[in-house]
Amino acid sequence: MVDKIIDTNMVKVVGKVASDKSFSHEMYGEGFYSFDLEVPRLSDSVDILPITISERLLVNMNLSLGQYVVVEGQLRSYNRYVENNNRLVLTIFARDIYVLDENELLEILRKPNEIYLDGYICKKPIYRTTPFGREITDLLIAVNRPYNKSDYIPCIAWGRNARFCENLLVGDHIRLWGRIQSREYQKKLHSGEIETKIAFEVSVSKLEFVENDNNRMEVFEQEG
């Protein structure tokens, strides 16, 4: 059962260590550290993604700035209380990590950022268009994991996928494939100052609607 739940949330990212590791927290006597990973995009820009990793995976591993690594794991969320508000924080929770040598680097960087999620719509999708006419739908997906916990993952669908997602209902079961991206935005503080922040989300490239496991039959029966 645990393996089945793990398979609902799978991430593989390849990139360059962009910060020194720092202590994050301890759980049941096990220490966890965090660092930033610079992951290239096909457009020649990069995403700076947060990694959380157990001290047990770092034994006999000299993780250094500029080193290229592969991280496999899950995209997880938790709430952090900041400035009298609950803030959803995302991190890639590493289950495995290994260092790349130069011969492996070119081949594996062809697909440096992959994620698969199997979850449920937990907030009404928001459809919008950009000033340049691009169609976008914002989604929030609940993905189950062991011990009755869930991760809440913000996702963004484009074009044809955006038009389809606009009509999804809360409780609908979907599977999606894409990449994790970082995005800068600006927030105006109470003092009037503008602060630049970073948001993380999944950019959806492929989407599958699980027709026989959603709340639509229930809705149709009520309407009938």
Short-list 172, 146, 145, 82, CA closest to 155: 172
Highest mean pLDDT out of 103-112, 199-208, 212-221: 199-208
pLDDT beyond 90 at 137:
yes
Share of the chain above pLDDT 90, in %: 66
pLDDT beyond 80 at 17:
yes
pLDDT of residue 6: 56
In this predicted model, what pLDDT tens digit does every residue of 59-68 receive, in sequence order? 989 899 999 9
Using a CB cutoff of 8 Å and minimum separation of 24, what contacts does 127-136 make? Answer: 127/162, 127/163, 127/165, 127/166, 134/158, 134/159, 135/159, 135/162, 135/163, 136/162
pLDDT of residue 222: 38
* Mean confidence (pLDDT) of the chain: 87
The CA-to-CA distance between both ends of the chain, in Å, stands at 37
Q: Which residue did the predictor score with more confidence, 185 or 199?
A: 199
Q: Which residue did the predictor score with more confidence, 111 or 34?
A: 34
- Please give the domain boundaries of the chain with CATH numbers for all domains: 2-223 (2.40.50.140)
Question: Is 0.85 topped by the overall pTM?
Answer: yes
Q: How far apart are CA 42 and CA 152, in angstroms?
A: 27
Q: How far apart are CA 222 and CA 54, in angstroms?
A: 48
pLDDT of residue 80: 79
pLDDT beyond 50 at 219:
no
Q: How far apart are CA 143 and CA 182, in angstroms?
A: 20
Q: Which residue did the predictor score with more confidence, 13 or 103?
A: 13
Short-list 12, 17, 13, 104, CA closest to 68: 17
Least confident of 25-39, 52-66, 82-96, 99-113: 99-113
Number of Cβ atoms within 10 Å of the Cβ of 70: 16
108 phi and psi angles, rounded to 5 deg: -80, -20
Average pLDDT over residues 165-169: 93
DSSP tag of 100: P
pLDDT beyond 70 at 107:
no
